Amino acid sequence: MKKINFCFILCAVVFTGSVAAQHKESIPELLGYPANTKLLIIHADDMGLSNSTNLAVIKAFASGSITSGSVMVPCPWAPEIAAYVKAHPGLDVGIHFTLNAEWKYYKCGGVLPSCDIKSLVDKEGNFFPTVQQVAFFAKPEDVEKELRAQIDRAIAMGIKPTHLDSHMGSMYVSPAVFRTAMRVAGEYQLPVSLPLNLVKTAAPFLLNEITPDMVGVDNFLMLDGNALGGDWNVLYAGLVNSLIPGLNEIVVHLSYDNDEMKAITVEHDDYGSAWRQRDLDLVTSEAFKKLLKDNQVQLVTWKQIQEAIYKK
């Protein structure tokens, strides 16, 4: 998820009306930890975006630097990462529901033919570049068809998805789209990465849509465009130091800073090629692992949450 307004907030706000708190057990208790435990999912977005991204994510999984990731199923490199996931059962990999193609030249459309999802694509059959366009044009019935198609395609490629999250936050653009995504996720038994702290501050129109059976992220954290020019070690230390008891999630964007990623992210410094290399270097560093240990963080996965909720 990136570039929607509530992802431009350096998230230290806590949603005190946590959905998790409305369950008989808190999420830590549901997973067998004391209620005051700081649970943390370290999540890699955009798997399948490029070969560079896939190689970086594979390195991070192999080194234990991330606990989770999600695949952009419509992207051309999704089959490569799906083959890796299939060959490494047990990885925590979900669906990065994609309704936007934001890069200047690198474009994609839906898994379904454009004629079947007309409200989601432009005249060339590509997803819209902005979330605002999704909010204006997207019809819930087209969202549902494409979401089901992306989940089904991932399963057909050998992925056993553990959760659902949203590229650029387009799943949260309206109550109708949100309801549709939550209903479909429930049918597939996929917990949703629902950023409760950001919903309260940037999408309050969704508050009435949140029900006690939903399990959200109490403290969703990700660097935004203001990080450009900053010290990655200092910025991520700030995120880790802001973790709270309950479920936290830090989202990173991993790639190698090579010609492929420079071409994909041309004229796009935020979440660009160099940015993603810095994220990779940071999460795989011993200093970051020590920072987590010093803050008494318990790393968890969406797979654990899925299994606890749906008794898999």
Quote the percentage of the chain above a pLDDT of 70: 92
Sketch the domain layout of the chain as residue ranges: 5-310
* Homologous superfamily of the 5-310 domain (CATH): Glycoside hydrolase/deacetylase (3.20.20.370)
pLDDT at 20: 38
pLDDT at residue 300 tops 90: yes
Give pLDDT, residue 215.
81
Q: Band of the pLDDT at 184, cuts 50, 70, 90?
A: very high
Q: How confident is the model at residue 211 (pLDDT cuts 50, 70, 90)?
A: confident
If we measure between CA atoms, which residue out of 81, 134, 94 comes closest to residue 110?
134
Q: What's the confidence (pLDDT) of residue 4?
A: 42
Residue with tokens 């989770």: 68
Residue 3 — pLDDT band, cuts 50, 70, 90?
very low
Mean pLDDT of 79-87: 98
pLDDT(95) > 70: yes
State the average pLDDT over residues 112-121: 98
Band of residue 12 on the pLDDT scale cut at 50, 70, 90: very low
pLDDT (tens digit, 9 = 90+) per residue, 137-166? 999 999 999 999 999 999 999 999 999 999
| Alpha-carbon span 159 to 72, nearest angstrom | 12
Mean pLDDT of 10-30: 51
Q: What's the 3-state SS for 191-234?
A: CECCEHHHHHHHCHHHHHHCCCCCCCECEEECCCHHHCCCCHHH
pLDDT for residue 21: 35
Query: For 247-295, what is each residue's pLDDT tens digit?
Result: 999 999 999 999 999 999 999 999 999 999 999 999 999 999 999 999 9
Cβ of 53: how many Cβ atoms within 10 Å?
29
Report pLDDT for 104: 97
Q: What is the pLDDT of residue 24?
A: 58
pLDDT tens readout for residues 43-64: 999 999 999 999 999 999 999 9
When the pLDDT of each residue in the chain is averaged and rounded to a whole number, the result is 92
Tell me: pLDDT of 230 over 70: yes
Segment 304-311 mean pLDDT: 94
Q: Which of 90-99, 212-221, 259-268, 301-310 has the lowest mean pLDDT?
A: 212-221
The CA distance from 17 to 218, in Å, is: 9
| Residue 15: per-residue pLDDT | 30
- 25 — pLDDT class (breaks 50, 70, 90): confident
Q: Report pTM.
A: 0.92
